[in-house]
Structure 1
Amino acid sequence: MSDKSLHSKVSKGVSRRGFIAGTSSLLGALALSVNSTAAHARPATGSAADAPLTSGARVPALVIGTGYGGSVAALRLAQAGVDVHMVEMGMAWDTPGTDGKIFANTTRPDYRSFWLRTRTKAPLSNFLGFPIDKDVPKYTGILDAEEMGGIIVYQGRGVGGGSLVNGGMAVTPKRQNFAAILPTVDADEMYGTYYPRANAGLGVGLIDPAWFETVDCYQFARVGRKHAQRSGFPFVFVPDVYDWDYMKQEVAGTVPKSAVDGEILYGNNAGKKSLQKTYLAAARATGRVAVSPLHRVTTVAPSDGGGYTVAMEELNTSGDVVGVKTVTADRVFFAAGSVGTSKLLVRLKATGALPLLNDEIGKGWGDNGNVMCGRANHMWDPTGKVQASIPCGGIDNWDAGGAFAEVAPLPTGIETYASFYLSITKNPHRGEFSWNAATGRVELNWQTAWKQPSIDMAKTIFDKINATEGTIYRSDLFGTNKIWGDHLTYHPLGGAVLGKATDNYGRLHGHPGLYVIDGALIPGNTSVNPFVTITALAERNIEKIIATDL
């Protein structure tokens, strides 16, 4: 595998005009081998931490979470000479199981696949009239399907966060859309400095267009392009963080297959440049960053001696609490993801641990307008038995209809004569997290009916394609006679919105030394896959914090 360095130049294709939204791939949600069972090996989980966090310790900077925002913060703080400890609720994901692989295959889910579930909860729940979820042992697996408030939120669990389980679609929003995404942020700075920095740090690249035209594993995308263009919609290539040279070798059969074998939803064993290979690798190389996996923060409160007292639980791979630790941190960075950060802050405010947080905490949460659907194609439009799990293109109707649709794979290993899509839309609805004192839990106010605008926007593309092609929607992917996947999101955003719950650089109001640096800052929609924007915003914010607060 030819990993690129953290500061490798982004492929020239990334800056081409017309690059627009891509989305994290829900693609391989299929678990078609219902009766397959992988060996139930329990890998070691502690080797990602050079120096495990000990109770009573004092740390200059504690980062809660190891996803995009947290990884940026850890790297830049360490480069500025600050010692950093990161705590992660999930596993390290650095030790192979008995099958020789770290991650489970998308079509063969096992104990590694889901976070503390006894049955899988795949985004696509049915296929050809049959349910495809299966029983699995309870384990601290890589994908969390968290059900709340009428929506399922899919989140990565492990060192690397969402980068472990998404499709790697690394897209910078169109400049003209940016003011609606982050209205208080200087667009010139973002597009001149921080988006390029994020793209370089993530190792973003573009598929070879000539290779795309001939390779079998992207036949599904070429069919999607043909149908889009015949209905008058632009088809655009979108960048990704996959090692495209490695994928070419996969197709040639000279290296172990990864994306070409459908690996993505439960991790990718080879070509994908997750944060483990980019920002986190660079952060750990400084010698100033340590990581403690299987640690769940429960309390953050001001310390009498300055800084903040942080309590956390240590978990085993069955999800049991096997220890409790308390440390003091001079500064705390909340980077547990939109849902994790929002839920923690709402609870800390409501229970009096951080009483000075303002009333914007928990507000402005959205699903990035995610909605899925499938279309049944004619027999003369086969999409291919072998489909690479990494999407590389999409259909743009954002300006006219409020939707961008990723042409996503269905890596089933059989010919389906189907096209599958994940759309991002301009859905205006926003949910809110609140504390339920009676249950002692944080709840999300979200209604499934709020997905209707997303469906209507997606229909501006697919109704027209079906009419042009004489085709119909698939109704067997999300249940019985259900066309739209309106029950989920892979792109949670908001809950601690920049310029409202925080100042314009992520400093939480009322408690100096506390920061939000993840997707919770972005109010509900990015018009594209969000992780490049999360990374770029984190680069912007941490630069300011280091320059002024440290």
Structure 2
Amino acid sequence: MNDNTSGSIGSKGVSRRGFIVGTGSLLGVAALAGRGTAAQAAARAAGPITGGAHVPVLVIGTGYGGSVAALRLAQAGIDVHMIEMGMAWDTPGSDGKIFCATTAPDQRSYWLRTRTKAPLNYFLGFPIDRDIPRYTGILDAEDFSGITVYQGRGVGGGSLVNGGMAVTPKRANFGSVLPSVNADEMYNIYYPRANAALGVGTIDPAWFDTTDCYQYARVGRKHAQRSGFPFVFVPDVYDWDYMKQEAAGTATKSALAGEILYGNNHGKKSLQRTYIAQAKATGRVTISPLHKVTSVAPASGGGYTVVIEQMNTNGDTTTTKTVIADRVFFAAGSVGTSKLLVKLKATGLLPNLNGEIGKGWGDNGNVMCGRANHLWDPTGSLQSTIPCSGIDNWAAGGAFAEVAPLPTGIETFASFYLSITKNPNRAQFSWNAATGKVDLNWQTSWKQPSIDMAKTIFDKINAKEGTIYRTDLFGVYKIWGDHLTYHPLGGAVLNKATDNYGRLTAYPGLYVIDGSLIPGNTSVNPFVTITALAERNIEKIIATDL
């Protein structure tokens, strides 16, 4: 389990130092695991964490990084308690469904809002947002200065609300993504491990060529290739066999029923069905939904005192609990982890966190646009909500564009795209003592490089096809969706805010293991990289720290 770069494991077996480190880690794991008592076993079975509890490991968040950490720690024999701000999303509503459709948002759709805030919030020039009851819904549209950051809220984090596009960056681009990480290890060990555990697969090209639900993507392919751009199929964590059954009418429709932004009821392999399911099956992992960590500080007797607020579905705090954790993993996502660490440093609870905390935050270069096609290029009234393809102009123009669905249920003659671009701008989180909140200094004008890079694709396609940009999807006469990101990254950058494995070195036993480690851009959809990096880091931590 040791890092191969240390020289402790080589082609001739295990060195003496490697053996000592390895056996020491096993003894440490056994000792830590041995702290489990009958009372702790009962607590695991009982449900939410109780005030006064003492846990070996507390994981803040249940997204990709946190789920990897919980599973691997549990498999090493260590009890883990996960704290999740959102709901469990395991109980159907009055309509018999856990999640609502994109085209019919209700209280389940948004996190503590009284009106929806759809990423694509206009259609034919008219606003489409609607009033909803305030509720701890699944999608958080968190507003900062200059940008809205979309995040999943619930057990499974972002995996609940993304399109499932599971992309490994091109090896040639990896050095700019995580320069301090050994690329050989990532591509030989950790990316394959992550892809296998996530259940990643690619659409059947023959089915793609014939099915009605991907007509929009075939139009995207035709236009890309006619302008000389590479068109690529993109892996995904959707169950492609299930989607074929949806199309055949032999399974309940999910991707073909407009389900994506507010959860997917059937075909998508979210973390609930992969890492978290495996973690729960160990019997060593407990999850407390609707709980929020507000404070982490060194405890007088060792370990860390963690203050947790339990809330109801109105977002009101109902109970405040204080627990002791021997080790704490920050896995609340780029925004959640960064905000918490910045607050803890500024308010004196963890004053020795280094000066890189809060820095290096980026939006993965996200920008959206639509194109108005000719009447002879219909994109289809039935559109799968799961994207399966993209246009690659990264090397020449700094942009990769998902061919995205526009699942309105009617023919729109529109092609819609989410671009990931090589945007160099980075923002910083900072503590605002006057408001008692954390601010982000992003500026909307910083999206201009993303627009310019996306235009290297779409200006050329429009010129070739004789088409124009849609101006009715993000406002009145507004072409670019430059107000948001789906892919927040950075804020606790690896090998800067932490060491090269996510340790907060000033505080032994504190770790970061989520997207905040990645400095602002992955060149593709980021969750496979977040997962693979977490696999790398937790393996090292178990081998050397526990």
Which residue type is aligned with residue 313 of structure 2? T
Q: Does 2:66 correspond to 1:70?
A: yes
Supply the AA of the counterpart residue of 1:382. Answer: P
**Are 2:163 and 1:167 aligned?**
yes
Structure 2 residue identity aligned to 1:325: K
How far apart are the structure 1 equivalents of 2:210 and 2:485? 33
1:51 shift after superposition: 2.5
Question: What SS is found at the alignment partner of 2:307?
Answer: strand
2:343 is the alignment partner of 1:347: yes
Task: Tell me if the contact between 1:90 and 1:295 (Cα under 8 Å) persists in the aligned partners.
Answer: yes
Match of residue 442 from structure 2: 446
Distance 1:475 1:160 in 2: 35
Please name the residue that 1:241 is paired with: 237
In 1, Cα distance between equivalents of 2:162 and 2:120: 15
2:465 maps to which of 463, 469, 483:
469
Instruction: Report the AA paired with residue 443 of structure 2.
Output: Q
Rounded Cα–Cα distance in structure 2 between residues aligned with 1:415 and 1:169: 24
1:305 partner letter: G
Residue 530 to residue 49, structure 1, CA distance change in 2 (3 Å): farther
Report the AA paired with residue 441 of structure 1: K
TM-score (norm 1): 0.91
Does residue 308 in structure 1 map to residue 290 in structure 2?
A: no
Give the C-alpha shift of residue 193 in structure 1.
Answer: 0.2
Compared CA separation, residues 50 and 198, structure 1 to 2 (3 A): farther
Alignment match, 1:357: 353
Give yes or no for the alignment of 1:527 onto 2:517. no
Q: Which amino acid aligns with 2:90?
A: D
Residue number in structure 1 paired with 2:400: 404
| Unaligned ranges ≥5, structure 1 | 1-47
What is the Cα deviation at residue 438 of structure 1?
1.2
Pick from 120, 124, 128 the counterpart of residue 120 of structure 2. 124
Offset at 1:440? 1.1
| Residue matched to 1:495 | 491
3-state SS, counterpart of residue 399 of structure 1: helix
Determine the structure 2 residue equivalent to 1:536. Answer: 532
TM-score, normalising length from structure 2? Answer: 0.92
Give the letter aligned to residue 238 of structure 1: V
The aligned counterpart of 1:295 is 291
**1:101 paired residue number:** 97
Cα distance, 1:129 vs structure 2: 1.4
Partner of 2:147: 151
**Distance across 2 between alignment mates of 1:445 and 1:525:** 17
Tell me the distance in 1 between the aligned counterparts of 2:159 and 2:423.
Answer: 24
Q: Residue type matched to 2:405 in 1? A: P
Aligned-residue offset at 1:50 = 5.1
Matches within 5 A, 1:413-424: 413-424=409-420
RMSD: 0.7
Structure (1 or 2) with the greater helix fraction: 2
Q: Which residue in 2 is equivalent to 1:55?
A: 51
Name the CA distance, whole Å, in 2 between partners of 1:436 and 1:301.
20
2:253 pairs with 1:257: yes
Deviations 1:338-367, CA, capped at 9 Å, x for gaps: 000000000000000001100000000000
Structure 1, residues 8-58: CA drift from partner, whole Å, max 9, x if none?
xxxxxxxxxxxxxxxxxxxxxxxxxxxxxxxxxxxxxxxx98532000000
Partner of 1:281: 277
- State the identity as a percent: 82
Distance 1:511 1:447 in 2: 33
Distance 2:432 2:322 in 1: 26
Task: State the match for 1:217 in structure 2.
Answer: 213
CA distance in 1, matches of 2:436, 2:123: 38
Per-residue CA distance 1:424-472 (angstroms, 9 max, x = gap): 0000000000011111111001000000000000000000000000000
Note if 1:185 corresponds to 2:185: no
Q: One-letter code of the match for 2:135?
A: Y
Of 449, 459, 474 in structure 1, the residue corresponding to residue 455 of structure 2 is 459
Distance 2:254 2:45 in 1: 27
| Counterparts of 1:64 and 1:489, CA distance in 2 | 22
Name the counterpart of 2:39. none
- For structure 2, the 5+ residue unaligned runs are 1-43
What one-letter code is carried by the residue in structure 1 that aligns with 2:317?
V
Aligned to 1:45: none
Over alpha carbons, which structure has the higher Rg?
A: 2
Q: Which amino acid aligns with 1:113?
A: S
Residues 1:140 and 2:136 aligned together: yes
Q: Does 1:208 align with 2:220?
A: no
Distance of 1:383 and 1:536 partners within structure 2 = 35
Code of the aligned partner of 2:94: T
Among 470, 477, 484, the alignment partner of 1:481 is: 477
Find the counterpart in structure 2 of residue 7 from structure 1.
none
SS at 2:93's partner residue?
coil
How far off is 1:109 after superposition? 0.1
SS at the partner of 1:190?
helix
Question: Which of 66, 71, 77 matches 1:81?
Answer: 77
Specify the code of the residue in structure 2 equivalent to 1:291.
I
Q: Is the 8 A contact 1:49 1:291 kept in 2?
A: no
Asked if 2 retains the 8 angstrom alpha-carbon contact of 1:63 and 1:86, the reply is: yes
SS at match of 2:525: coil
3-state SS in 2 of match to 1:223? helix
Q: CA deviation digits over 1:313-333, x for unaligned, max 9?
A: 000000000000000000000
Deviating above 6 A after TM superposition, structure 1's stretches of 4 or more consecutive aligned residues are none
> Residues of 1 paired with 2:301 and 2:104: CA distance?
51
Indicate the SS of the match to 1:547: helix
CA distance in 2, matches of 1:192, 1:357: 33
